Amino acid sequence: MNKRYFWEDFAAGSVREFGATTVTREAILAFAGQFDPQPFHLDEEAAKHSLFKGLCASGWHTAAMTMRMMCDEYLLDAASLGSPGLENIRWKKPVYPGDTLSVRMEILESRPMASRPQVGLVRSSWTVLNQHAEPVMTMEGWAMFSRREPAVGENPG
């Protein structure tokens, strides 16, 4: 595979900050209309009277925008083998029209995959921040990447 990033490039403790996605009202309405038509994502007046005090993006929209920032930053150029899932998704603050989101990714843990010497596992945490550096969403999860140099004669862990 002719990729730039392999398992070795995601070392435990490393931090990567990236992305700048400005969220438009039109994008909020388009996503919500298709996938999450709750009044506080679609109707300014109803949203004013909700817990959120104003029209805000679906939490799934924020997750999807985060995925796009990950793709653009490293995933599309990585020997990525996907993710089995995620933990601890938290929506911490509403995302409003005009907000600009970015991502702070920290590698929590990295280890070879016991059963496949050409694959490594990485556990990351992602914090999505708005333009005031306030976390709006956090999550954690494992991902699999091909190794640049597959283990040879390594004792499977």
**Which spans of this chain sit near its own copies (rule: CB under 8 A)?**
31, 34-38, 51, 58-60, 63-65, 67-68, 71, 75-76, 80-91, 141
**What 8-state DSSP symbol labels residue 80?**
B
In the DSSP assignment, the letter for residue 24 is P
Nearer to its own copies, 87 or 155 (CB): 87
Given the complex with its own copies, which of 14 and 83 has the nearer CB atom?
Answer: 83
Cα 102 from chain centre: 10
Question: Which residue's CB is nearer to its own copies, number 123 or number 155?
Answer: 123
Nearest approach in angstroms of CB 103 to its own copies is 14
Give me the least distance between CB of 153 and its own copies, in Å please: 26
Which residue stretches of 2-57 are H helix?
25-35, 39-42, 44-48
- CA distances in angstroms from 57 to 37, 54, 60, 76, 92, listed in the order given: 11, 10, 8, 25, 12
Given the complex with its own copies, which of 80 and 127 has the nearer CB atom? 80
Q: How many CA atoms lie within 13 A of 71 on its CB side?
A: 7
